[in-house]
């Protein structure tokens, strides 16, 4: 096998393993220095990490789905929480079981995303501004639905909370990946979204209906957020949202994997990159939980990782160029010494 074939394979392997392996080694050292055995390969540890990874990756794919097409949308957290509330209330009232809850969550996520899309394409202001107002609007829906009270305790009902357990939660992850990949690679709308991202005016000039394409894209991301909403519903208490943009934490606490996915897209599919990012953060969190790190320090660790990743990814080409230059310089130096 020649170098031209080996190098791309090595890059893909590195893209898959470097981040989680690096964090695993760091946390193994940290836990060891605190007298804790850091073993992520036991069933309990493995299932716990995959549960967190699955939820985080689904939310991140919902975020990344819009990011990759040039839209930074703040309403995702509100869509997740409100779709969870709607699903929980309807499922509890009807008693039709867990998979009906999932169906209601997905439909709710799609409807809320469609509303967001229609508002955005109608008033034509930047999505980052529009989505803030829409998120606030959706959060107000929670108080209307729950009448300012606490919703049904779905997370305490055994027939429902099984959805958030391992391995059932992997069904949601697989469904989200299928939606993400199929739209991007196998649909006309996905190809049109890429054209709109790369050159909006030219895409419109050749006949692409931007409003229709945006609506379709938002329906898909809404379905992904709905899947996250179903998991949220069975893992969190359903409560009225009382503070403006209270749901933004649901969005931003899961944003790193989407950034990792978009960065790794140069080597592997961005959905796989998103999963790798989520797995990396879950491995980090498991180690921090093992040594009893408080929530504030945990958030600081997350923020540090985010800052480091943004810094490195932002200067990645320059870093690689510098490394190649130094390697070439060292090789040249050794060559001269041998000749001498």
DSSP string, 124-182: ---HHHHHHHHHHHHHHHHHHHHTTSB---GGG-HHHHGGGSTTTHHHHHHHHHHHHHH
104: which DSSP letter? H
Reduced to 3 states, what is the DSSP secondary structure of residue 97?
coil
Average pLDDT on 248-272 reads 81
Angstrom distance (rounded) from CA 170 to CA 10: 28
Count the residues in the chain.
Answer: 340
- Select the more confidently predicted residue: 152 or 308: 152
Q: What is the pLDDT of residue 340?
A: 58
pTM for this predicted structure: 0.88
Looking at per-residue pLDDT, the higher value among 231 and 189 belongs to: 231
Task: Give the per-residue pLDDT at 339.
Answer: 61
- Measured CA to CA, the distance from residue 242 to residue 64 in angstroms comes to 27
Q: Per-residue pLDDT tens for 9-65?
A: 777 777 778 888 888 888 888 888 888 888 888 888 889 999 999 999 999 999 888
Written as six digits, the tokens of 58 are 């689904």
127 has a pLDDT exceeding 60: yes
């Amino acid at each position: 096998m020649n170098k031209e074939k080996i190098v791309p394979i090595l890059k893909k392997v590195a893209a898959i393993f470097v981040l989680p392996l690096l964090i695993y080694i760091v946390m193994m050292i940290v836990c060891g220095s605190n007298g804790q055995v850091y073993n992520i390969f036991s069933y309990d540890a493995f299932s716990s990490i995959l549960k967190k990874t699955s939820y985080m990756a689904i939310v991140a794919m919902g975020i990344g789905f819009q990011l990759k097409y040039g839209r930074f949308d703040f309403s995702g957290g509100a869509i997740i929480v409100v779709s969870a509330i709607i699903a929980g209330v309807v499922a509890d009232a009807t008693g039709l079981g867990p998979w009906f809850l999932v169906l209601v969550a997905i439909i709710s996520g799609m409807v809320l995303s469609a509303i967001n899309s229609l508002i955005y394409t109608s008033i034509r202001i930047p999505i980052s501004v529009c989505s803030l107002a829409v998120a606030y609007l959706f959060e107000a829906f929670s108080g209307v639905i729950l009448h300012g009270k606490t919703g049904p305790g779905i997370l305490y009902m055994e027939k429902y909370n099984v959805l958030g357990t391992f391995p059932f939660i992997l069904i949601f992850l697989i469904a989200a990946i299928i939606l993400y990949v199929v739209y991007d690679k196998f649909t006309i709308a996905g190809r049109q979204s890429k054209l709109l991202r790369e050159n909006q005016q030219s895409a419109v000039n050749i006949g692409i209906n931007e409003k229709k394409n945006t609506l379709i894209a938002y329906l898909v991301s809404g379905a992904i957020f709905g899947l996250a909403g179903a998991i949220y519903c069975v893992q969190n208490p359903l409560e009225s949202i009382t503070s403006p943009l209270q749901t933004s934490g649901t969005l931003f606490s899961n944003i790193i994997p989407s950034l990792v996915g978009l960065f790794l897209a140069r080597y592997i599919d961005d959905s796989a990159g998103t999963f790798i990012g989520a797995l990396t953060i879950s491995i980090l969190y498991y180690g921090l939980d093992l040594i009893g790190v408080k929530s504030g320090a945990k958030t600081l660790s997350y923020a540090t990782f985010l800052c480091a990743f943004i810094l490195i990814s932002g200067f990645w080409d320059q870093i690689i160029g510098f490394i190649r230059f130094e390697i070439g310089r060292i090789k040249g130096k050794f060559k001269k010494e041998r000749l001498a």
